[in-house]
A = this chain, B = another copy of it.
Amino acid sequence: MNANQENLKILRHSAAHLLAQAISELFPETLLTIGPATEEGFFYDMLPTTNFRDEDLPKIEARMLELANQDYPITHTEISKTEARKLYQNNPFKLELIDNIPGETVGLATQGNFYDLCRGGHVASTGLIKHFKLSGISGAYWRANRDGQALQRIHGTAFPTAQELTDYEEHQAELLKYDHRRLGKQLDLFSFHDEGPGFPFFHPKGKAVINALTAYLRKIQRTHNYQEISTPIVLNEELWHKSGHYQHYKDNMYFCKIDDASYAIKPMNCPGSALVFKTRPRSYRELPLKLAEYGLVHRHELSGVLHGLFRVRSFTQDDAHIYCMVDQVESEVLSIIENTNKVLNKFNFTNIEIALSTKPAKSMGSDELWAKATDALKNALRSAGANYKIQEGEGAFYGPKIEFKIKDSMGREWQCGTVQVDFFLAENFDVVYTTDNDTKTRPVVIHHVIYGSMERFFGILLEHFKGQLPFLIAPVQIKILTITDTQKPYAIDLKQQLEQVGIRVEIDQSSDPISGKIKTAQLDKIPWMIVIGNKEVENKTVTLRYQDGKQEFGISTPKLLADAEIHNK
Contacts and interface: CB of A to CB of B under 8 A. Distances in A.
A276 B228 contact: no
A235 B196 contact: yes
A291 interface: yes
A79 to B, nearest CB: 40
B259 A146 contact: yes
Contacts of A275: 191, 193, 195, 201
A291 B204 contact: yes
Main secondary structure of the interface of A (DSSP, over half): mixed
Contacts of A203: 229, 276, 279
* A-B pairs with lowest CB-CB distance, top 6: A199-B232, A204-B227, A254-B256, A202-B230, A195-B239, A196-B235
A66 interface: no
Interface in A197-214: 199-204, 207-208, 210-211
Contacts of A257: 254-255
Contact of A235 (B199, B236, B255, B259): B199
Given A193-B275, A195-B238, A195-B275, A298 B233 contact: yes
Contacts of A499: 222-223
A300 B256 contact: no
Interface in A246-282: 254-259, 263, 265, 271-272, 275-276, 279-280
A234 B265 contact: yes
A314 B188 CA distance: 30
A194 interface: yes
A547 interface: no
Interface residues of A, number: 53
A38 interface: no
A303 B263 CA distance: 15
Interface in A128-176: 146
Interface string A469-506: 00000000000000000000000000000010000000
30 contacts: A188-B279, A191-B275, A191-B276, A191-B279, A195-B239, A196-B234, A196-B235, A196-B236, A199-B233, A199-B235, A201-B229, A201-B231, A201-B232, A201-B275, A201-B276, A201-B279, A204-B229, A204-B291, A207-B230, A210-B230, A222-B499, A233-B265, A233-B296, A234-B254, A234-B313, A255-B256, A255-B257, A256-B256, A258-B313, A296-B296
